[in-house]
Amino acid sequence: MHQPLGEAVQTIVLSQLAEARRACAHLASEADTEALHAVRVAIRRLRSTLRAWRKPLRGVVTRRHRRRLRELQRATGCTRDADVALAWLGRQNDLGAKRGEGVAWLENELRQRAVVQRHRAREALPATFHAIQEDLEARVAASTSASRTVDVPSTTYGEALTRRLRKQGRAWMDALSRLAASRDVGEAHATRILGKRLRYLVEPTVDLVPDLKALLPHLQAWQDLLGKLNDTRVLRAEVSREARRARKAGRSTHAGLKEIRRRLRRRKRAVFKRIGKRASPKRLRLVKRAWKAAVQALASA
C-alpha cells in the first residue's frame, strides 16, 4: 500500500498479463469449455486496470495496446452471448410443436455461429495476446529501470487507490439510486459497467486490506442482476435479427420467435422489478455503508 503508485500499478499489470497468459494456455484443449470465458474475464480485468491507471501508465501502454486488447475481448464476447442465449432457450421447453420449430431453428443458428467463432478465437487469440504481452512486459521493465534512477517523491498506491475508490464509488452509488425509478436499459447497462470497474479496481488489493472484502458481495450481486437485464437485451436483438432472416428465407418460424420475444419482454419487466426492490433506500444504505467502510479501511492502511 505504501509502494509508489507507478511501481504498484506495473506490478498489477504484470500479474494480470500472467493470468491472461495462463488462461490462453487452456484454449488448446477442446475439453475445457470454460477456457474462452476465462480468457475474456482475464483480458477484461487487464483492460479495466489499464483504464483506471491511465496516467501512471503513460508511456508504457499505448493506444495500439488498448485497441488490440479491445479487439481480443470482442472476439471472445460473441461466443459468450451465444452460450447464454442457448442456456436460456434450452429452458423454454413448453412451447409446443409449432412454436418449438422456430426456437429449434434459432438454437441451431446460434450453435453453429458459436462453433465457428470459438474455433477462430482458439486459433488466433493465443499468438495475438502473446505478442501484446511480450511488448507490454518489455515496456514495463524498461519503465521500472528508468524510474529507479530518479529519486522523486511519489504518490503511494494506497493514497491513489483511496481517492479513486471514493470517486468511482460515489459515481456508482449515484447511478444505483437512479435505478429505483428507471426503466432505461442503457442506464442500467452503464451502471453495471461502473460496478464492474469498481470491483476490478478493488480486487487486486483485498488480500492486503481484508476489510475491502465486505464490498465485493454487493458489487457482485448488482453485477449479476444487471447482467440478466443485459443478457435479455442482447438476446432480444438476436431474436429480431434472426426473425428478419427467417422471413427472407421463407421459413415458418414466426410463431416460435414471436413467443420468445414475448417471454423476453416479460423477463425484462421481472428483472426491472427486482432492480427496483434492490435499489430501495434501505438496501442502498447497506451498500453505501460497505463502500464508505472500504474507503476508510484503505485510508487507514
Burial class (CB in 10 A: 0-12, 13-18, 19+), 176: buried
**Rounded mean pLDDT, 28-50:** 86
Higher pLDDT, 122 or 228: 228
Residue 191 pLDDT greater than 80, yes or no = yes
**pLDDT tens string 218-277:** 999 999 999 999 999 988 888 888 777 777 766 666 677 888 888 999 999 999 999 999
C-beta of residue 65 within 8 angstroms of C-beta of residue 131: no
CA angle 187/191/194 to nearest 5° reads 140
**pLDDT tens string 271-295:** 999 999 999 999 999 999 999 999 9
Residue with cell 414475448: 262
**pLDDT tens string 40-93:** 999 999 999 999 999 999 889 999 999 999 999 888 887 888 888 888 888 887
Pairwise CA distance, residues 46 & 197, whole Å = 11
**Rounded mean pLDDT, 199-224:** 94
Q: Which residues contact 42 (CB under 8 A, 6 or more apart)?
A: 16, 19, 20, 23
Average pLDDT along the chain: 88
The pTM score is 0.87
Domain at 1-155, CATH class: mainly alpha
Buried b (16+ CB within 10 A) or exposed e, 132-151: bbeebbebbeebeeeeeeee
* Banded pLDDT at 94 (limits 50, 70, 90): confident
